[in-house]
Homo-oligomer: A and B are copies of this chain.
């Protein structure tokens, strides 16, 4: 099913506007094919946008997201060892930051649970 999608189909499916999708292309986050002047999107493009949206949920800027998508895209085989080492260090830094975020979330969930139980005890009392 190598379905190709128009921009409006895609925007509907993903819950973003066509403007947003074009904007991401402007920012070099996408490079869809063209049929004449019209853009057509593959399942890969769709997956990329999902990646972008996930990155945004996690609080990354589009610039950061592009950086890390370049990591995913990186064609490792032709790379020099130095470049790979560098890539590796970036990946590890990023992973560390993400683990930090998980901790942040854990703490916040804890605090929210505290509020929740306070609320419940008060409501139950009445």
Contacts and interface: CB of A to CB of B under 8 A. Distances in A.
A17 interface: no
Interface of A is mostly: helix
A51 B115 CA distance: 15
Interface string A82-126: 001101100110110011111011011101110110111011001
Interface stretch (A8-16, A21-29, A34-42, A53-61): A53-61
Interface of A: 54, 56-60, 71-72, 74, 76-77, 79, 81, 84-85, 87-88, 91-92, 94-95, 98-102, 104-105, 107-109, 111-113, 115-116, 118-120, 122-123, 126
Given A72-B111, A95-B112, 11 more contacts: A57-B59, A57-B100, A59-B60, A77-B122, A84-B119, A85-B119, A85-B123, A88-B116, A88-B119, A98-B108, A102-B105
Task: Sort A-B residue pairs by CB-CB distance and give the 7 closest, nearest first.
Answer: A59-B59, A88-B119, A95-B112, A98-B105, A84-B119, A54-B104, A91-B112
